[in-house]
Amino acid sequence: MTLHTGLDVLSAAQRGGYGVGAFNTDNLETTLAIIDAAETTRSPVMLAITSGALSYSKNRIADIALIEARQASVPVAVHLDHGDSFEVCMWCIRHGFTSVMIDKSHEDEATNIRQTRRVVDAARAVGVSVEAEIGKLGGIDAAAEAGDGSAQLTTADEAVRFVEGAGCDTLAIAVGTAHGPNKGIGRPHIAIERIGEIRARVDAPLVMHGASSVPADVVERFNAAGGHLEGAVGIHDDDIRQAIGRGMCKVNVGTDLRIASSTAIREFVRSHPGEIDMRKILKPARAEMARVIEAKMVLLGSAGKG
Ligand code: 13P
Domain range enclosing 115: 6-300
| Residue 170, helix vs strand vs coil | strand
CA 127 from centroid of its chain's CA atoms:
21
Instruction: Determine the distance separating the centroid of ligand 1 and the alpha carbon of 276, expressed in angstroms.
Output: 31
Paired strand residues for 134:
173
199-237 burial code (b ≥16 CB/10 A, e <16)? beebebbbbbbbbbbbbeebbebbeebeeebeebbbbee
Residue count of the chain, please give it.
306
Instruction: Determine the distance separating the centroid of ligand 1 and the alpha carbon of 114, expressed in angstroms.
Output: 25
Binding pocket residue ranges, ligand 1, CB within 6 Å: 24, 81-82, 179-180, 209-212, 252-256
Instruction: Determine the distance separating the centroid of ligand 1 and the alpha carbon of 255, expressed in angstroms.
Output: 6
Distance in angstroms (rounded) separating the CA atoms of residues 127 and 31: 24
Instruction: Determine the distance separating the centroid of ligand 1 and the alpha carbon of 180, expressed in angstroms.
Output: 6
Closest ligand 1 atom to Cα of 180? 2
Output the pLDDT for position 142.
43
CB atoms within 10 A of CB 125: 9
Residue 306 lies in a domain: no
Provide the CATH number for the domain around residue 169. Answer: 3.20.20.70
Output the pLDDT for position 29.
98
Residue 109 lies in a domain: yes
Inter-helix orientation angle 86-95/109-125, to 10°? 20
Residue 1 lies in a domain: no
8, 26, 36, 81: the active-site residue: 81
CA proximity to 30, closest of 251, 286, 284:
286
Which residue type does 224 have? A
Output the pLDDT for position 149.
46
CA dihedral 143→144→145→148, nearest 10 degrees, is: 80
| 286 Cβ contact partners less than 8 Å away, ≥ 6 residues apart | 29, 30, 32, 33, 261
Alpha carbons within 13 A on the beta-carbon side of 275? 16
Which residue type does 256 have? D
Closest ligand 1 atom to Cα of 24? 9
Which residue type does 66 have? L
Q: Whose CA is nearest to atom 5 of ligand 1?
A: 210
For every one of its 306 residues, what pLDDT tens digit does the chain have, with 9 covering 90 and above? 679 999 999 999 999 999 999 999 999 999 999 999 999 999 999 999 999 999 999 999 999 999 999 999 999 999 999 999 999 999 999 999 999 999 999 999 999 999 999 999 999 999 999 999 999 886 444 434 444 445 689 999 999 999 999 999 999 999 999 999 999 988 899 999 999 999 999 999 999 999 999 999 999 999 999 999 999 999 999 999 999 999 999 999 999 999 999 999 999 999 999 999 999 999 999 999 999 999 999 999 999 999
Residue 203 lies in a domain: yes
Output the pLDDT for position 152.
86
Clarify whether 81 is annotated catalytic.
yes
Main-chain phi, psi angles of 47, to 5 degrees? -90, 120
Output the pLDDT for position 151.
63
- Confirm if 288 and 268 have CB atoms less than 8 A apart: no
Output the pLDDT for position 137.
86
**What is the number of structural domains in the chain?**
1
Residue 29 lies in a domain: yes
